[in-house]
Amino acid sequence: MEKVPVLVTNFSTANSSLLPQHLYYAGGFQPPDTREWKAMVPTLLVVICLVGFAGNMCVIGILLHNSRKAKPSLIHSLILNLSCADLFLLVFVIPFRAAAYPNATWNLGWFVCKTSDWFIHVCMTAKSITIAVVAKACFMYASNPTKQMNIKHQTIFAILVSTWLVAFILPLPEWFFTTTKQINGSKMCVLAIPEYAYEFMSIFVKLYPIFVFCIPFLLAFLYFWKAYAKCQRRGTKTQNLRNQIRSKRLTVMLLSVSITFSIMWLPEWISWLWMWHLQRGGLSPPQAFTVLAQVVMFSISSVHPLIFLVMSEEFREGFKGLWKRIASKKPFPASENQESQAANSEGLSESVHSEEQLASPLNPQHSCSQQNLGSPDNKDAPVLPDVEQFWHERETLPSDQDNDPIPWEHQGQETVGDDK
């Protein structure tokens, strides 16, 4: 969320001196200083939206496909929750932000203005709490994989619902005070704080970052550190070693997601706190920093799917399988498809019929060929070349030599007689 104090110079009201301290731009609306911002920022947002949408759809498709094969785990459900929150931002927020930046006035309506900043904080808060819960789940998996896998569906559902309820409630003050106003003849989307709520908002802007950003990531890094320490201990059994390797890979992947999330979200918090604690006559942050901070925040939705697909072997294999399934479902022409199906069905029926005749015990030709395959008297049955040569050598050799049980002794006697 970027909010810049509205500097109203010719706003003739009794409380005009208080307006710069209580009125902020909202809804992603900022009158651009230069023409470059009108083109660059929407272009970046469109690229982020396309890349993030494709990546998150792949992650969601892989998770849903894997859930059909086996019981969904808590970690997979939380990763799915992260991807859903990213998808909500990409679909319901970023397109409107891309449309709002180039305009000098707000023309997206009251509802979008009212809910835009609030919904951003809802999704980001849900992701922040999910990161803390997934760190706890990762520590549980490193400690006891069986216990983590046996979590009931009701428990997983309760965790996800509680996460979103907290995320919907915490940023409600922004929703209450955001509205559209006519300022200097132009319609603006602003967050106008009345005088009676100023003390409440002064407390809110101090506690909100602590509950949404500081505490969740502090807990997440603490649990990841414990989980990584568990993975470093060597087990005595082969199964324990395998679980440790899996736990270490999972911990490193989720820790990378958390670090990326916190670093890329930090500039937006710096801009947010700078604006809310700006003193009268103080220097406001540059527009370039404010806008780019939000662009970097939106880029999280594109970076997280790439981390999952690059660092997780399971996601890579799932992506390959998903790509093969999509590629194999290319439509063929109707006539060629019907002809190929008919040819395949005819060939399949002929092969099955021939296999049934060969495998049937009622087929005398097949039974005779199996029983008399090595018989020299069998003229009709097919005889392999090696078998035929074997029987030919047996016929040419003397019968007494064939029946001699100890041929090596007679061979020795023959050699002695020849020497004499």
**What is the chain's mean pLDDT, rounded?**
75
- 192 bridge partner residues: 23
Q: Any idea which of 139-153, 178-192, 211-225, 293-307 has the lowest mean pLDDT?
A: 139-153
Answer yes or no: is pLDDT of 51 > 90. Answer: yes
* pLDDT score at 237: 53
pLDDT digits (tens, 9 = 90+) for 69-109: 776 788 999 999 999 999 999 999 999 988 888 777 888 88
Is the model more confident about 89 or about 28? 89
Clarify whether residues 382 and 321 are in a common domain.
no
CATH of the domain at 314: 1.20.1070.10
pLDDT digits (tens, 9 = 90+) for 198-248: 889 889 999 999 999 999 999 999 999 999 888 876 554 555 677 778 888
Clarify whether residues 321 and 379 are in a common domain.
no
Clarify whether residues 282 and 376 are in a common domain.
no
Domain final residue pick, 294, 310, 328: 328
Between CA 320 and CA 314 the distance in angstroms is: 10
Residue numbers of the domain that contains 97? 16-328
pTM for this predicted structure = 0.71
Q: Dihedral through CA 137, CA 141, CA 147, CA 150, nearest 10?
A: 70
Clarify whether residues 389 and 248 are in a common domain.
no
Displacement of CA 191 from its chain's centroid (Å): 35
* pLDDT score at 33: 59
Provide the H-helix boundaries in 93-197. Answer: 94-100, 110-143, 145-149, 153-169, 172-177
Taking Cα atoms as reference points, which of 12, 4, 1, 2 lies closest to residue 183?
Answer: 12
Clarify whether residues 319 and 392 are in a common domain.
no
Q: Any idea which of 43-57, 282-296, 339-353 has the lowest mean pLDDT?
A: 339-353
C-alpha distances (whole Å) from 25 to each of 32, 45, 351, 389 are 12, 19, 75, 97
What tokens appear for 26 in the block? 């909202």
